[in-house]
Structure 1
Amino acid sequence: MDALKNDEIRQVVRQKYGRVAEGLETGCGCGPTYSSRASMASSESLSQGFGYTADDVGTVPQGSNMGLGCGNPQAIAALKPGEIVLDLGSGGGFDCFLAARQVGVTGRVIGVDMTPEMISKARVNTEKGGYLNIEFRLGEIENLPVADATVDVIISNCVINLSPDKPRVFSEAYRVLKPGGRLAISDVIAFAELPEAVRQDMAFYVGCIAGASIVSEVEALQTSGFTDILVLPKDESKLFIRDWAPGTDIEEYVVSASIEAIK
């Protein structure tokens, strides 16, 4: 894709998730809206289906968990007290709040999101929760507002598929990680070539389907310098991915996966 096309995609994604932050639309797949107790319960149920515990979803500020993920990066991150964590596409702050609990007062969590409405929502949630070791920065994951070699762990949950320039995302991730730093990502990947009609449909793109990378492209993280790359597809995720596009066989093309790598 050329630079103009990439920017057009970012604008559409930004507008879409701005409306999600305001509770006007759903996000990845068939995530819920958040204007009622029923929808809040639905987001909690979805997150537990992605691998979070009842304690996880019950201890974060209300409104931070919007059920937008496709897995639980916390489960593979193995966060330790004192670490500096960066969340790519931090949304309402759900994963950041969980990470803050694990790294403790000596650690720090940075959330980056390109949607102003999401950043505002996350900052309000931070105040509600009284967190002192979290900050949220407005920026694109292809151009991270983070200094070189300052982060111990990068997490992300169903966001990199939304980027039109994934090699740039991985290059930026490598830049900001300290030597020995690690990636712990949950994302949607494709194990078969998506139909062209799906790839060109922006509804499927902002729904976390059309932008999914082929497994081999993700494994090419080594071109950015990463080692110990592990891509683990989760076949059970087809059960909820099937509901993202009712009436299609999209689960025959994409799957949620955990992605790990070391700098």
Structure 2
Amino acid sequence: MKKEQELKDIVKERYAKIAEQGKAENASSCCGATTPSNKVYNIMMDDYSETSGYIEDADLGLGCGLPTQFAQIKKGDTVIDLGSGAGNDCFVARHETGSEGKVIGIDFTPIMIQKARINAEKLGYNNVEFREGDIDAMPVSNDVADVIVSNCVLNLVPNKEKVIAEIHRVLKPGGHFSISDIVLVGELPVALKEDAEMYAGCVAGAIQKDDYLKFIEDRNFKNIKVQKEKTINIPDDILGKYLSQDEINSFNKGTTGIFSITVYAEKDGVKQEKPKLKLSEIEASDCCEPTSGCC
């Protein structure tokens, strides 16, 4: 297994290229794949186009679910999006939390942060900000978020337990998360599991579904539930890059399943309601703290 930093570097390089290319040229990235004949499959992503708050320029086609649809975001909430990319889920969340709330996107790819900030400026969203950093060491204080969302990102991080611990740290008592991700039931063939492209493509970095849910349980989250689950089928054309025909036949007839799941859980405790801040107070008190990168 490659070292954590090497895997992070692979993902960062891939997603920098994605940010430069845009969605039209990007169908072969995380939630799609190309074959040797350059046929393109979008095998994971869900359609956002009918979602309130959707901004096409911010949608790079990188998701594997619609976590904001299940996130129970309320007006005035503070929402954090992990792996925010060009800002798609942040802008959907902002529609839900309103101008009186706040949305923070975290991403470790500088060009993604730049792209997201440009999109926010075009929209005039002064209560949406983007911070550069790793989601396993978030540039955010303790007990900040009412809601955390993420879309097809934790599977790209080598140390998923650390991310879940960070989610627990950053959520307010009584806060909750809704996260879409890729998980497995059964073992992937070695050729798929060890390929860097498949790691950056959201598959090889996925872990067992039971292990994923246990990490959440072990961090003392409560009311854990799978809000949505769908099967991800890898076309034979893609499998052919890694497996022989006999291996493809065996894989397709086997017990291994690849799934997109959207998981909900709550941090224990009672949420303390606080007076709603005016936008000017939000900007002065938090938006321009040293880690925000917005000043």
TM value normalised by structure 1: 0.85
Q: Tell me how large the CA RMSD over aligned residues is.
A: 2.6
Is 1:11 matched with 2:9?
yes
Is 1:106 matched with 2:106?
no
Q: Hey, what does 2:176 align to over in structure 1?
A: 182
Deviations 1:106-159 (A, max 9, x none): 100000000001000000111111112100000001000010011110000000
Structure 1: tracts of 5 or more residues without a match:
33-38
Amino acid across the alignment from 1:54: E
Q: Which runs of 4+ in 1 moved over 6 A?
A: none
Count matched residues: 246
- The residue correspondences of 1:202-213 to structure 2 (distance < 5 A) are 202-213=196-207
- Are the structure 2 counterparts of residues 105 and 51 from structure 1 closer, same or farther at C-alpha, using a change threshold of 3 Å? same
- Are the structure 2 counterparts of residues 138 and 103 from structure 1 closer, same or farther at C-alpha, using a change threshold of 3 Å? same
- C-alpha distance in 2, partners of 1:245/1:78? 36
Note if contact 2:185-2:258 (Cα within 8 Å) is conserved in structure 1: yes
- Are the structure 2 counterparts of residues 243 and 160 from structure 1 closer, same or farther at C-alpha, using a change threshold of 3 Å? farther
User: In structure 1, the residue corresponding to 2:198 is in which secondary structure?
Assistant: helix
- C-alpha distance in 2, partners of 1:21/1:110? 19
Is 1:245 matched with 2:238?
yes
- C-alpha distance in 2, partners of 1:51/1:253? 22
Deviations 1:146-205 (A, max 9, x none): 100111100000000000000000000000000011010111111112222211111100
Of 228, 245, 258, 2:223 maps to 228
Q: Hey, what does 2:280 align to over in structure 1?
A: none
- C-alpha distance in 2, partners of 1:174/1:18? 28
Q: Hey, what does 1:28 align to over in structure 2?
A: 30
Q: Hey, what does 2:88 align to over in structure 1?
A: 94
Note if contact 1:60-1:129 (Cα within 8 Å) is conserved in structure 2: no
Of 260, 267, 275, 1:256 maps to 260
Is 1:76 matched with 2:70?
yes
Deviation of 1:75 after TM superposition, in Å, equals 1.4
Of 108, 111, 120, 1:126 maps to 120
Deviations 1:187-232 (A, max 9, x none): 1111112222211111100000001121111111121221111135
User: In structure 2, the residue corresponding to 1:142 is in which secondary structure?
Assistant: coil
Note if contact 1:31-1:68 (Cα within 8 Å) is conserved in structure 2: no
Task: Tell me which protein shows more helix as a share of its residues.
Answer: 1
- Are the structure 2 counterparts of residues 75 and 60 from structure 1 closer, same or farther at C-alpha, using a change threshold of 3 Å? closer
The structure having more radius of gyration, on CA atoms, is: 2
Is 1:150 matched with 2:152?
no
TM value normalised by structure 2: 0.76
Q: Hey, what does 1:197 align to over in structure 2?
A: 191
Amino acid across the alignment from 2:118: V
The worse-fitting range, judged by mean Cα deviation, of 205-214 and 23-32 is 23-32
- Are the structure 2 counterparts of residues 95 and 31 from structure 1 closer, same or farther at C-alpha, using a change threshold of 3 Å? farther
- Are the structure 2 counterparts of residues 180 and 51 from structure 1 closer, same or farther at C-alpha, using a change threshold of 3 Å? farther
Of 120, 128, 133, 1:139 maps to 133
